[in-house]
């Protein structure tokens, strides 16, 4: 059960699904296994899309990215972003 938008184990799958929906909305394509493992650069993600993803993810996970993580070069793939968010949400 989630209280105050905190992530608990039962909630992780739904959060991941919602994370993928954010990515699909921002980049305008379905997130396949290939897209999940491709780098942000390979997918042609620009800085506006990146910040859009960050803003929506912060709202979904009720968290704030560390300032140094707002730079695209901090994450190579979408999976890297998700792992950061998942680990930050447990703190």
pLDDT of 53-74, one tens digit each? Answer: 999 999 988 999 999 999 999 9
Beta strands in the chain (DSSP E): none
**13-49 tens-digit pLDDT:** 788 888 889 988 988 888 776 667 789 998 889 999 9
pTM: 0.76
The owner of tokens 């990515």 is: 23
Cα 59 to Cα 45, 53, 69, distances in angstroms: 20, 10, 16
pLDDT on residue 12: 59
Q: What is the distance between the alpha carbons of residues 38 and 54, in angstroms, rounded to a whole number?
A: 18
pLDDT on residue 7: 45
Q: What is the distance between the alpha carbons of residues 40 and 4, in angstroms, rounded to a whole number?
A: 31
Q: Is 24 within 8 Å of 57 (Cβ atoms)?
A: no
């Amino acid at each position: 059960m989630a209280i105050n938008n905190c992530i608990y184990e039962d909630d992780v799958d739904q959060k991941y699904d919602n994370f993928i929906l954010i990515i699909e909305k921002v980049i305008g394509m379905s997130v396949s296994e290939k897209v999940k493992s491709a780098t942000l650069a390979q997918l042609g993600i620009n800085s506006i899309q990146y910040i859009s993803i960050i803003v929506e993810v912060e709202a979904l996970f009720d968290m704030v990215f560390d300032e140094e993580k707002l730079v695209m070069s901090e994450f190579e793939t979408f999976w890297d972003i998700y792992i950061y968010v998942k680990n930050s949400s447990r703190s």
